[in-house]
Amino acid sequence: MTLEDLFATIEARKTADPESSWTAQLLAKGPAKCAEKFGEEAVEAIIEAARGDTAALTAEAADVLYHLLVMLAASDISLSDVLAELDRRQGQSGLAEKAAR
C-alpha cells in the first residue's frame, strides 16, 4: 500500500457513517481533534525513538503517517499538494529554505 492509496481510503471515509469506521469517526470530529490525535501519535513515536525500540518506533511511525494523512484530509489539504511542496523544495538547501520562511 502506498501513501496515495491510504490517502484515497481516508478521503473516501469523509462521507462514511462514523459508526462504520474509525477514520470516519476521527474525520467527523473535525480538524482540531484530528490534529490533537496526530500530536499524540507523534509524541509516542518520539518516546520510542528515544528508547531505541525500533519495533515500537516502526509501529508508531505507521500511526504517525496515518494520522498525518487524516489531519490533512480533515483540513481539505491533498497529499498531492504536500508532495508538490516537497518537489518544490528539492534541490534547495534546507538552510536556504528555512531562511526563506
Whether residue 64 is predicted with pLDDT greater than 80 in this model: the reply is yes
pTM across the whole model: 0.88
Interior angle at CA 38, CA 79 and CA 50, nearest 5? 115
What are the extents of the domains in the chain?
Answer: 3-100
- Taking the C-alpha atoms of residue 84 and residue 55, their distance in angstroms, rounded to an integer, is 31
Q: What is the pLDDT of residue 94?
A: 72
**pLDDT score, position 97:** 65
pLDDT (tens digit, 9 = 90+) per residue, 72-97? 999 999 999 999 999 988 887 777 76
Distance CA 69, CA 26 (A): 12
Superfamily for domain range 3-100: MazG-like (1.10.287.1080)
Q: Which of 93, 87, 59, 80 has its CA nearest to residue 67?
A: 59
Average pLDDT over the chain, rounded to an integer: 94
List for the chain the helix, strand, coil content (%; round to 5).
80, 0, 20
User: Does residue 67 surpass a pLDDT of 90?
Assistant: yes
Phi (first) and psi of residue 33, to 5 degrees: -70, -40
In the predicted structure, residue 11 carries a pLDDT above the cut 70: yes
Contact predicate 34/57, CB 8 Å: no
The answer on pLDDT for 48 being more than 80 is yes
